């Protein structure tokens, strides 16, 4: 424990100099990186900050992760500044070391970074209302729209095939071949469900191949809790957790927002009667995303918005099921058949989306034709509106 604290103190000194730490708190929510909240007194950077050590076991090229984050945050910051909008609460701010680097590598090759802490804003694991879902989707749409002109070749692919449903189906098939008879028997219904929908797995990669959709700079982890909601106004103000930013498909981003914001129960709920897709939440997501990102989407992307939620939900279900068949080697489990329960929830959600698919498509058509486009944070909102209550 003493060595760990010495390492943390050394990292703090690299960013803030000696003898300026007033308070250190360990973040107990995140499951990947090591995160600490700091209060700094004196020096050139007083105030609250977030210190993180990147998990090199998950991110094999952490310096490329940091290069992506630096490019993306700088690009967004420049857009806001050009529009006369204060970016300090709109985009993550990397705090440089005392010698000017955006991050540093310690003697054990761990990469450390520091962000300015955004005050008076909160993240939520579950949408408290359709309005909150709308705000989250609008923030992710703004994020996508603001990066739509960032050249894709400037961004590293840090996790190959992170969202690639055909690859995930192949991994499921391999897990099925290697699984014990007991594991196969326990998941027979889920295996049949997965196989019966193989035909949808390649839909997005096929569209990428024929040119009807294109690679973009995408977030790739668009859970509700990756948007900070202002405590006073209730507005979505800043997209966070940028470690998975890389070339990808906007439809996977929107789809994952649907997957995580619309279920009526927990991800590992055992009573499947409690699980369905909340169509009101979906409507709110579509309104928010089209309002901010609509102008940057192709006609094919608009057409597949509803489908994208079903596809990535199916993909995550495949991943949970494959892990169950493999003996629970990737996702952490806390009870017997935990990953199988998770797969069942995802597949029940897919089924609910299938039952409501026409209604979902009608919501997209309604909002696409309803003149909601062009209202991004920069284009049609004044400086005063963007900073009211912030």
Q: Where are the domains of the chain?
A: 2-117, 130-387
* Residue 390 confidence (pLDDT): 29
CATH architecture classification, 2-117: 2-Layer Sandwich (3.30)
Given CATH 3.90.1200.10, say whether it is the number of domain 130-387: yes
- Would you write out the chain's pLDDT as a tens digit for each of its 390 residues? 666 788 888 889 899 988 888 888 887 766 677 888 898 987 788 899 999 998 777 788 999 999 999 999 999 999 999 999 999 999 999 999 999 999 999 888 889 999 999 999 999 988 899 999 999 999 999 999 999 999 999 999 999 888 999 999 999 999 999 999 999 999 999 999 999 999 999 999 999 999 999 999 999 999 999 999 999 999 999 999 999 999 999 999 999 999 999 999 999 999 999 999 999 999 999 999 999 999 999 999 999 999 999 999 999 999 999 999 999 998 888 999 999 999 999 999 999 999 999 999 999 999 987 544 444 555 433 323 333 332
**Count of CB atoms situated within 10 Å of the CB of 298:** 15
Beta-strand runs (E) in 277-368: none
Answer yes or no: are the C-beta atoms of 87 and 81 closer than 8 Å: yes
* Residue 387 confidence (pLDDT): 34
Q: What is the CA radius of gyration of the chain?
A: 22
- Say whether 96 sits in a helix, a strand or coil: coil
Helix locations, 22-129, DSSP H: 62-82
Nearest to 295, CA basis, from 378, 197, 358: 378
Predicted TM-score (pTM) of the model is 0.89
- Say whether 30 sits in a helix, a strand or coil: coil
Cα separation of 243 and 37, whole Å?
18
Nearest to 112, CA basis, from 94, 129, 128: 94
* Residue 143 confidence (pLDDT): 97
Answer yes or no: are the C-beta atoms of 261 and 312 closer than 8 Å: no
Beta-strand runs (E) in the chain: 21-26, 34-40, 47-53, 104-105, 111-116, 121-122, 216-218, 227-230, 236-239, 246-248
**Count of CB atoms situated within 10 Å of the CB of 351:** 18
């Amino acid at each position: 424990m003493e060595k760990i604290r010495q390492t943390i103190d050394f990292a703090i000194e690299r960013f803030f100099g000696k003898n300026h730490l007033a308070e250190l708190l360990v973040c107990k929510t995140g499951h990947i990186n090591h995160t600490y909240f700091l209060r700094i007194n004196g020096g050139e950077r007083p105030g609250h900050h977030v210190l993180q050590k990147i998990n090199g076991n998950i991110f094999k090229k952490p310096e490329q992760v940091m290069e992506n984050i630096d490019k993306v945050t700088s690009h967004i910051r420049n857009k806001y500044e050009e529009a006369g909008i204060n970016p300090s609460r709109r985009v993550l701010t990397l705090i440089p070391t005392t010698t000017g680097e955006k991050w540093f590598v310690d003697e054990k090759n761990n990469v450390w970074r520091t962000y300015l802490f955004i005050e008076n804003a909160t993240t939520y694991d579950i949408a408290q209302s359709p309005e909150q879902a709308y705000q989250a989707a609008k923030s992710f749409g703004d994020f996508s729209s603001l990066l739509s002109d960032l050249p894709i070749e400037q961004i590293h692919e840090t996790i190959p095939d992170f969202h690639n449903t055909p690859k995930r189906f192949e991994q499921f098939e391999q897990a099925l071949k290697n699984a014990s008879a007991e594991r196969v028997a326990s998941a027979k219904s889920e295996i049949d469900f997965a196989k019966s929908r193989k035909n949808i797995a390649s839909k997005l990669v096929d569209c990428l191949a024929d040119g009807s959709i294109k690679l973009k700079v995408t977030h790739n982890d668009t859970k509700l809790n990756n948007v900070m909601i202002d405590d006073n106004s209730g507005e979505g103000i800043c997209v966070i957790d940028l470690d998975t930013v890389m070339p990808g498909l906007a439809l996977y981003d929107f789809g994952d927002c649907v997957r995580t914001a619309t279920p009526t129960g927990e991800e590992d709920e055992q009573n499947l009667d409690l699980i369905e897709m909340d169509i009101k939440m979906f409507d709110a997501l579509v309104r928010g995303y089209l309002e901010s990102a609509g102008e940057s989407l192709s006609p094919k992307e608009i057409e597949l918005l509803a489908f994208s939620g079903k596809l990535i939900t199916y993909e995550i279900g495949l991943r949970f099921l494959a892990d169950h068949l493999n003996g629970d080697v990737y996702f952490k489990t806390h009870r017997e058949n935990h990953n199988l329960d998770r797969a069942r929830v995802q597949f029940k959600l897919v089924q609910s989306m299938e039952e409501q698919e026409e209604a979902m498509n009608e919501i997209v058509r309604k909002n696409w034709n309803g003149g909601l486009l062009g209202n991004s944070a920069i284009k049609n909102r004044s400086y005063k509106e963007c900073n009211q209550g912030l």
